Amino acid sequence: MFNFCKKAIEIADKRGVDFGDIRIIETRRRVLSVKNGEIGDMDDSVTLGFGVRILHKGAWGFASSDKINAEEIKKTTLKAIQIARASSMLKERNVKLAPEPAYRDFWQTPRLIDPFEIPMERSLELLFRIDSVLRKKPAIKSAVSSMKFVREHQWHMTTEGSEIEQDILSSGAGFFVKAVETGEVQDRSYPSTHGGQTLSMGYELMENLKLLDNAERVREEALALLKAKDCPQDQVDLIIGGNQLALQIHESVGHATELDRVLGYEESFAGSSFATTEKLGKFRYGSPIVNLVADATLPGGLATAGYDDDAVKAQRWHIVRDGVLSGYMTNREFAHAIGMNRSWGSNRAEGYDNIPITRICNLSLMPGKWELSDLIKDTKKGIIMENNRLWSIDQKRLNFQFGCEIGWLVENGRKTKIVKNPTYQGITPQFWNSCDAICNENHWQLWGVANCGKGQPMQTAMMCHANSPARFKKVKVGVKVNY
């Protein structure tokens, strides 16, 4: 494939462009699901194509194709150059890229079992077994269990001399039930909502998740929610963890610190951010125990790779250090806006036919010192919430409201009754400044976000947010929303 890449680079060099690169990508997807005793999805597909990105006369041009031959690569590269020239006539300023060394390297997601070597029948057998457990009670009106595997093989070459091959793999699985009784509807998911848990590893994830072992418990919790009382309207101490805390990190810190959004490049579509650049190194984003670290080297992380799509080597850096805003998600184009002479490497594209844009990296809340049992004992009046059900956040990433699948009251240091339709709301810096306790590394776990949408046209990206359960003081809970 690199012989095809060289053709694009030779053409770009001859035309004297400022920068050029080509990414050839082969993507294989396998999606399987069982819904209410029948096969829902069964897909095993491959796409292959390439995208050429050109920086010429200070402006970008991009073109792509799903035909890989010398003539098509020449045609597409020349098209990208023409687009860059046209764009340069409308530019407000020249695009300037932060420097990065050239690399020649191969990187691969560590895996024990290649999921594409596992017969589909074996995977479907497990999904049907889960389905039969989930639907043993008549009040369960819908049950869906699923698996998804994606492998992206990428060949990336730049006019600066980088020649990088990467083989990136993700695996995901989970299940979902809907319980209905006398007009009441309640959902319960495992191990997390919005498609289950997804991580960068092989088929070994299926054993790690213990899907079948948890099916009965999750079913019974869905049934218990039908008879549970509503989450009380109150101001209490909130303990959250799992994929709910992951989504809290994602929406109120991850998107808020994408530098292109901060600079206004997403404003017309998805809003901007309150975390503006003059706050860097000064603004108290959270309490002193809050440390949020971006890490493209994190084992199992969905944004983990050897290099981003700017050919920048993977790094680890603080977004929030000891409660203070300390970094952003950057690419080579916007790093200069905060005085950096190198990108932190957060530029990624969905597939071969999209231009790379700034994306959230793996972003994790670092563990604290508490055991969860001790944290509960230390809480006099509180609530534990788990598994996101819905969310809303304003265009500045400030005011938010979240709803979860299930809650448990904490009364005088004891976890007591289940409550249904739990919700909470807050304002981002006040909320993170109310964090007074974080559980230790024994409870620290990765949670995958496999469906993050951004850009025009829309692109989907994946990343992880690891966390341990954390406590937030005096949070408003129980605000009524329409589920």
**If you ran DSSP here, which 8-state letter would residue 250 be given?**
I
Cβ-Cβ contacts under 8 Å for 466 (sequence gap 6 or more):
246, 298, 301, 362, 364, 365, 444, 445, 446, 447
**What is the rounded CA–CA span in Å between residue 56 and residue 14?**
12
pLDDT of the residue at 454 = 94
Type of residue found at 309: D
**What is the rounded CA–CA span in Å between residue 67 and residue 80?**
16
Q: Are 304 and 152 in contact (CB under 8 A)?
A: no
Burial 328-345 (b: 16+ CB within 10 A, else e): bbbbbbbbeebebeebbb
pLDDT of the residue at 480 = 78
Residue 239 sits at φ, ψ, to 5 deg, of -110, 120
Cβ-Cβ contacts under 8 Å for 293 (sequence gap 6 or more):
316, 317, 318, 319, 363, 364, 366
Cβ-Cβ contacts under 8 Å for 346 (sequence gap 6 or more):
258, 294, 296, 308, 329, 330, 331, 358, 359, 360, 361
**What is the rounded CA–CA span in Å between residue 296 and residue 319?**
13
Domain boundaries in the chain? Answer: 2-227, 230-477
pLDDT of the residue at 482 = 65
Q: Are 218 and 202 in contact (CB under 8 A)?
A: no
Cβ-Cβ contacts under 8 Å for 9 (sequence gap 6 or more):
20, 21, 22, 157, 158, 159
The β-bridge partners of 60 are 55
**What is the rounded CA–CA span in Å between residue 33 and residue 107?**
31
CATH homologous superfamily for 2-227? PmbA/TldD superfamily (3.30.2290.10)
pLDDT of the residue at 59 = 98
Per-residue confidence of the chain (483 residues) as pLDDT tens digits?
Answer: 999 999 999 999 999 999 999 999 999 999 999 999 999 999 999 999 999 999 999 999 999 999 999 999 999 999 999 999 999 999 999 999 999 999 999 999 999 999 999 999 999 999 999 999 999 999 999 999 999 999 999 999 999 999 999 999 999 999 999 999 998 999 999 999 999 999 999 999 999 999 999 999 999 999 999 999 999 999 999 999 899 999 999 999 999 999 999 999 988 888 999 999 999 999 999 999 999 999 999 999 999 999 999 999 999 999 999 999 999 999 999 999 999 999 999 999 999 999 999 999 999 999 999 999 999 999 999 999 999 999 999 999 999 999 999 999 999 999 999 999 999 999 999 999 999 999 999 999 999 999 999 998 999 999 999 999 999 999 999 987 765
pLDDT of the residue at 74 = 98
- Count of H helices and E strands in the chain? 10, 24
Q: Are 252 and 430 in contact (CB under 8 A)?
A: no
pLDDT of the residue at 85 = 97
3-state secondary structure of 441: helix
